[in-house]
Amino acid sequence: MYKVIIGIVVVAIMAIVAFMIIDPHVNVSRVNDTSLIESNLDGAYTVTVEGEVENPGTYNLEGGSTIKDLLNAAGGATSSADSRCYYEEVVLEDKATYYVPGMYDFNDICNNSEVNKVNINIDDAETLMSVDAIKSSIAASIVSYRTTNGLFKTLEELQNVYGIGAATYKKLRDYVILHK
């Protein structure tokens, strides 16, 4: 009986050593009591891009990569992407999702009407309220946030503004820009 147990332990150790030789970055973790094997590459970020890019999805990039690097990994922005909505030099955050809005109103069948957008970095509260999803309290919070924290570097930063959760962010992200 002991020989069987010792044999199983030896085989298990040999399997673990073999897997570590194949990929030394393999980590075994427990999530909801289920054993998962995850690859954890040193210095790599897992970042998701959505919207007007050729290949939306999740990418592994080196730490310190920028939005420009992410766009390149995703095959570039589409011809209808609104480049006023991102800064290419912004450094990415690990496990973050970035959105690239389009320039055109997708409710328009011909898809050739440009969306009227407001600039969250320079427009006053009254101008910000021209977007349906931005009410007076949200507009005041946006102005207060940028006064306290400086200019917005990404659209996703809007979710740090008091009163803007994930649902409100998704309603207004197509109607705001960061620069002219």
Structural domains of the chain ordered from first start: 2-39 (no CATH), 44-100 (3.10.20), 118-177 (1.10.150.280)
Q: What is the DSSP letter of 92?
A: P
Which residue from 174, 148, 171 is spatially nearest to 161, judged by alpha carbons? 148
3-state secondary structure of 179: coil
pLDDT at 22: 56
pLDDT value, residue 129: 97
In terms of pTM, does the model score above 0.85?
no
| Helix ranges restricted to H, the chain | 2-22, 67-73, 125-128, 136-149, 166-172
pLDDT of residue 54: 98
pLDDT for 30 beyond 50? no
How many residues would you count in the chain? 180
For residues 59 and 57, give the distance between their C-alpha atoms in angstroms, rounded to a whole number.
7
What pLDDT is stored for residue 109 in this prediction?
57
Q: 79-122 pLDDT, tens per residue?
A: 999 999 999 999 999 999 999 999 987 665 565 678 899 999 99
Residue 41: pLDDT over 50: no
Average pLDDT, the chain: 85
Instruction: Tell me what the mean pLDDT of segment 141-167 comes to.
Output: 97
- Contact assessment for residue 163 and residue 141, using Cβ atoms and an 8 Å cutoff: yes
Question: Cβ distance 78 to 109 under 8 Å?
Answer: no
Q: Residue 85, class by beta-carbon neighbours within 10 Å (0-12 exposed, 13-18 middle, 19+ buried)?
A: buried
- The larger pLDDT score, comparing residue 87 to residue 33, is at 87
pLDDT of 68 over the 70 cut: yes
